[in-house]
Amino acid sequence: MAPKKKIIITIDGWSSCGKSTLARQLAKELNYVYIDSGAMYRAITLYFLRNHIDWTDTTEVEEALANIQLDFRFNEVSEQSEIFLNDENVEYVIRDLVIAEKVSEIAAIREVRTFAVKQQQEMGRKKGIVMDGRDIGTVVFPKAELKIFMTADNAVRVERRFRELFEKNPNITIEEVKNNLEMRDYIDSNREVSPLRQADDALVLDNSKVTMEEQLRIAQKWVKEKLQ
């Protein structure tokens, strides 16, 4: 029997649009590997902050990257892929607002993106992956069989992000979250290297008014069409 066809699925879009949620859902349904590219940049940011790296100094950045080992490991309890930084599980540490405030700035650095993209492309060499981020369909896998671009109303995104962060930090305000999202949107879409943009052949999914189950059904339909 011929092996079942496997494809690469990319999910790009703005912060707090539910990219990771949909990517995890699809990966589980298809028995694909889920790769959270944002977690990679967050882990690099964590390393830079912990080690007081001056990210305006190219030499210092390159030396730091040479000491970073990133990999994803499946947690059988949570049934999720979790990111490890130099053999330390940092999946939950990297979700802090302190990381969120710096990650777009660090992810805009050319050397950082080159480092991460090379690893991401290697992870997708055998296909059968779902990867979400900002430049996955435009830079990392421009020939991916299915590209999804996710968007949502700003107010919806702010509320989602606020609920997520409030669980970890009850002192956070909705204004802080709004300002952080606006800052990240600006940096992500205006950076010189691999700015956030919709691929010409991407399918747009606006999930402002759809449930997680509904968005999964939409994406499953698109996958089925690509696998035919």
Q: Which helix (H) or strand (E) holds 88?
A: strand 88-89
Rounded distance, CA 105 to CA 44, Å? Answer: 12
CB-based contacts of 218: which residues, under 8 Å, 6+ apart?
A: 205, 210
Judge whether 221 lies within some domain: no
Judge whether 66 lies within some domain: yes
Six token digits for residue 145: 């069989």
User: Which domain CATH number covers 37?
Assistant: 3.40.50.300
Rounded distance, CA 79 to CA 198, Å? Answer: 30
Judge whether 88 lies within some domain: yes
Judge whether 120 lies within some domain: yes
**Closest C-alpha to 11, from 222, 225, 190:** 222
Judge whether 223 lies within some domain: no
Six token digits for residue 191: 């950076």
Taking only the tens place, the pLDDT of each residue in 26-82 is 999 999 989 999 999 999 999 999 999 999 999 999 999 999 999 988 888 877 889
Beta-sheet pairing, 70-75 with 146-151:
unpaired
Judge whether 171 lies within some domain: yes
Taking only the tens place, the pLDDT of each residue in 145-197 is 999 999 999 999 999 999 988 888 899 999 999 999 999 899 889 988 889 99
- With contact defined as beta carbons under 8 Å apart, do 132 and 12 qualify? yes
Three state DSSP letters for 186-228:
HHHHHCCCCCCCCCCCCEEEECCCCCHHHHHHHHHHHHHHHHC
Against a cut of 0.75, is the pTM above it?
yes
The label of the residue with tokens 């977690």 reads 39
Judge whether 2 lies within some domain: no
Rounded distance, CA 37 to CA 55, Å? Answer: 20
Q: How many independent structural domains does the chain possess?
A: 1
Judge whether 224 lies within some domain: no
Domain that holds residue 31: 8-206
